[in-house]
Amino acid sequence: MQRRHFLATTTAAAAAFAAPTFAQGKPIKIIVPFTAGGSIDVTTRMIAEKASVTLGAPIIIENRPGGGGGIGVDLVAKAAPDGQTLGIAAVAMHAINPWLFKKLPYDPIKDFAPITQMVRIPNVLVMNSDTAKRLNITNLKEFLAYAKANPAKLSYASGGNGSAGHLGGEMFKAKAGIFAVHIPYNGGAPSQLALLSGTVDYTLDNLATSGANIRAGKVLPLAVTAPKRSPLLPDVPTLADTYPGFEIDTWWGLMAPAGTPREVVARLNSAFVAALESPDVKTRFMGLMTEPLSSTPEQFADLIKREYARYEGVVKASGAKVD
């Protein structure tokens, strides 16, 4: 009896010692590899606020921008795999940058334990409303007709060489058989300002970036890049309607360092999925023109692997490089 009691006691103690430290109320840090105020930062803060209640621990957001998101991602890769430091996995850092940069300080697949996808946002082809009115363009068909009849007269902005907006823009040009001048800017916000001022004619950026200006009537949405129409813009056609198979969107989600115990990943997944699926979070996301999308860790890992493989050809075709 005494031996069994001793074994039961030591087993319970070992289990308590092995339990995720965040269960004891220790703060969790989420590293967002971009500046505060952007779509990734805002949505992460919304979800963290909900998940912290479920986890019984405060969640701190730390913004570490730079290197195309690589600085913050690398910090997560090198953090202790104990569930206390998490980060954001996104199409830029995990699918595009590996083919854009000659060398990265992290491996986008091996160095991370995916937890859940958080967001999927279609890109949207938008044109400066004043420019569209001046050129008598009201829809995609008229845009394409003008672009084909006037090569190099249209210009488009992106958040930089190799950004999703740049790659999407080049894919669109190739599919449509048009030529427009690419003008890269240092981030999504400056490219939107260039569009609003009429310095450039159009962009092909994510809906979260363009949403407010669409609502304000400052830009004209011509097409979305999802395979189906977006519930956020139900009256806007898809590019796939005209060019079957055309698809490019923006996504991000939550990850931990590789080696994080599976039970820790499972508990984090449960808490963050519950937050993503809560009605108030869905409503707040819709207000930001973003679509919450939860997943299992395995599903998110599969998405990252598929996108990593897919963007190899996309980046090479664009000719974009960052030394």
Separation of alpha carbons 221 and 232, rounded Å: 12
Where do we find the tokens 């998405």?
303
What are the b/e assignments for 91-105, b being 16+ CB within 10 Å?
A: bbbbbbbbbbbeebe
Question: Span 23-120+250-318: which CATH code?
Answer: 3.40.190.150
Question: pLDDT value at position 150?
Answer: 97
Q: What is the mean pLDDT of residues 24-34?
A: 90
Question: Span 122-242: which CATH code?
Answer: 3.40.190.10
Question: pLDDT value at position 68?
Answer: 84
Q: What is the mean pLDDT of residues 232-236?
A: 91
Q: What is the mean pLDDT of residues 227-234?
A: 88
Question: pLDDT value at position 316?
Answer: 86
Question: pLDDT value at position 12?
Answer: 39
Query: Domain residues of the chain, as ranges?
Result: 23-120+250-318, 122-242
Q: What is the mean pLDDT of residues 91-113?
A: 94
Two domains, one topology: 23-120+250-318 and 122-242: yes
CB 124 within 8 A of CB 238: no
CB 123 within 8 A of CB 248: yes
